[in-house]
Amino acid sequence: MSESTPDPSASISAGFPDLGTSVDELVATMTEERADDLDWRGGKAFSLVYNADDPELERLQHDVAEMFLHENALNPFRYRTLLHMEGDVIDWASALLGAPPRSGSLSSGGTESIFLAVQVARDEARARGIINPTILAPETAHPAFEKACKYLDVERVRIPLRDDMRADPNAYRSSIDERTILLVGSAPCYPYGVIDPIAEIASTAADAGLLCHVDACLGGWLLPFWRSIGREVPPFDLSVPGVTSLSADIHKYGYAYKGASVILYSSPDYVDRQTFMYDAWPGGLYASRTTAGTRPGGPIAGAWATISHLGRDGYERQARRVATATDGFRAAVDAIEGIRVTGEPDMSVFEISTEPGSDLDLEGVSEEMDARNWALDRQQGGLHVMLSPGHDRVIDAFAEDLAASVAAGRTGAGANAVYGSVV
């Protein structure tokens, strides 16, 4: 056998398993490996997982995930059940958030929904001859906008904030030029939980003949029910004149499992702009509404089942639990000298920062909370809290441990502010 001839008996690679492993052994290994992962069921975690604290719903979701584990929604005519479910979810989301019927799509998450909104705006601009477009997005806009701009060859212009941590409408007006294609606002922004002045931003966009996107990935499936239980919510959705698109994650406060999000538009014409079609392939017509080819059936069915199970009554019940947790956690912060809630959050998301003149080390506070098994996220200017229904059961424990952590006066080691990362 020559040097250039591969040895058929050789292993594929040094690191590839030569022999299969039994199911029981694999399950045992994974169970052991998970022991140090984030415990999101205990009420001490605040992001990445939105715990509905509903055992019946969780059982339903496990059953649905198993039922649709292998289905692929790429070809809707082969899996008409998924087609019908997706249509229902889009219709329900449209009714909830002010969009016309069937003027949207399901996506894999907020990032894909945001990508699609930026892509539609870019293609609209190209049709008008704009080849080097910009979007205007506040400093607090989700990094997915920056990511979309990088991938889609669009420039992002950062809009400064007012003192209340909301985007400054005047800065949009002064930043619009011949390259501008899209204005962006958040409902709410992730860092501070405040809703940007959507009506003013959308009016500015409409006056300039531009598109306007509302990133309601975080608040889209809570704010309507937040309003219906008596909380004040400023106008933010597609019923606001000038808003042309909106993203809202069902796997956040919609309590579905990941990944499920909606991208909605003010007209079905924008959905057509979003759609990819290619018919010059020997394999036949290839068409898709979203960036993904293969689309797992589980998240579609899971979103449908979750919304169907909860209904308006269930979502209002969950909103009341989140509101109770929000009031309790904010009161705990307000009762402790040296710390405060940043700004005036509009929802169940907020930052804990230091009071002016305080020399308190929040990194040390965070490490003290870590030692008590609380997984508070570190931000550039403070500690981040995002509340789910199950947090209403741990209000007193949080208040006690936060007070003790502040009183400890530890100096932190300077842990990084990280939301998503790579290794």
Burial class (CB in 10 A: 0-12, 13-18, 19+), 293: exposed
Which pLDDT belongs to residue 2? Answer: 53
Which pLDDT belongs to residue 415? Answer: 54
The vertex-261 CA angle with 196 and 393, nearest 5°, equals 75
Full-model pTM? 0.91
Which pLDDT belongs to residue 46? Answer: 87
Q: List beta partners, residue 276.
A: 288
Domains assigned to the chain: 61-308 (3.40.640.10), 312-408 (3.90.1150.10)
Omega before 188 within 30 of 0, i.e. cis:
yes
- Tens of pLDDT along the chain (423 residues)? 455 565 555 544 567 888 899 999 999 999 998 888 877 787 888 887 888 999 999 999 999 999 999 988 888 788 899 999 999 999 999 999 999 988 999 999 999 999 999 999 999 999 999 989 999 999 999 999 999 999 999 999 999 999 999 999 999 999 999 999 999 999 999 999 999 999 999 999 999 999 999 999 999 999 999 999 999 999 999 999 999 999 999 999 999 999 999 999 999 999 999 999 999 999 999 888 899 888 999 999 999 999 999 999 999 999 999 999 999 999 999 999 999 999 999 999 999 999 998 989 999 999 999 999 999 999 988 999 999 999 999 999 999 999 999 999 877 665 565 555 544
* Backbone angles phi and psi of 188, in degrees to 5: -95, 180
Which pLDDT belongs to residue 317? Answer: 97
Question: Which residues lie below 8 Å from residue 64, measured CB to CB, with a gap of 6+?
Answer: 298, 301, 302, 305
Whole-number Cα distances in Å, 375 to 37, 165, 194, 259 = 11, 24, 22, 22
DSSP state of 219: T
Q: Which tokens sit at 233? A: 């919510």
The H-assigned helical ranges of 68-101 are 80-97
